Amino acid sequence: MRRITLTGTALAVLLLLLLGGVAIAGATPAATPDKAKTLHLDVQFSPFKLIDVDHDGGPSLGDYVIFHDLLSSRGKQIGDEGGTCPIVDATEGLIHCTGTMRLPGGQIAFQGLTTAAPTKELAVTGGTGRYQGAGGEATLVELGDGTGTLTVRLRR
């Protein structure tokens, strides 16, 4: 198996951009006739935490990031989310993130293949409680200051 590793500062910057925020959430629903909801949240990203699985001193294929971010709406914290993002292609800077949001009334699961772009598209893959049976998509926009915005479009 061929091992590809990004080096030094370039990789650190890439991972910070990729993983500076992998949050998804929702709180302010806007109902539509087809039982869809759009949720809007602000995200406070957690500090960067890389797990160096192969102990080579830097990010490489198979290493991963863990995160636990705070979710708020209208200036009030309403939930949180956590997950992991393993590096799946170090050359292209690709990570595959999976996670779960805890919100009032239930949880929402998400996943997606992401890059260093500040705008990330992710899939909503299910939920519990009031979000049971939900699917849809989410758009995360990183603002570059440790915060971001999140729009989650749910459908049932």
Quick one: three-class SS letters along 40-91? Answer: EEEEECCCCCEECCCCCCCCECCCEEEEEEEEEECCEEEEEEEEEEEEEECC
Please determine, for residue 17, whether its predicted confidence score (pLDDT) is greater than 70: no
Please determine, for residue 21, whether its predicted confidence score (pLDDT) is greater than 70: no
Q: Using one digit for the tens of pLDDT, what is the confidence trace for 40-91?
A: 999 999 998 999 999 998 889 999 999 999 999 999 999 999 999 999 998 8
Please determine, for residue 130, whether its predicted confidence score (pLDDT) is greater than 90: yes
Distance of CA 26 to the CA centre of its chain: 13
CA gap 5, 50 in Å, rounded: 14
pLDDT of residue 30: 42
Tell me, which fold does domain 8-155 have in CATH?
AOC barrel-like (2.40.480)
**Taking the CB of residue 69, how many other CB atoms lie within 10 A of it?**
25
Dihedral angle sign, alpha carbons of residues 94, 100, 102, 107: positive
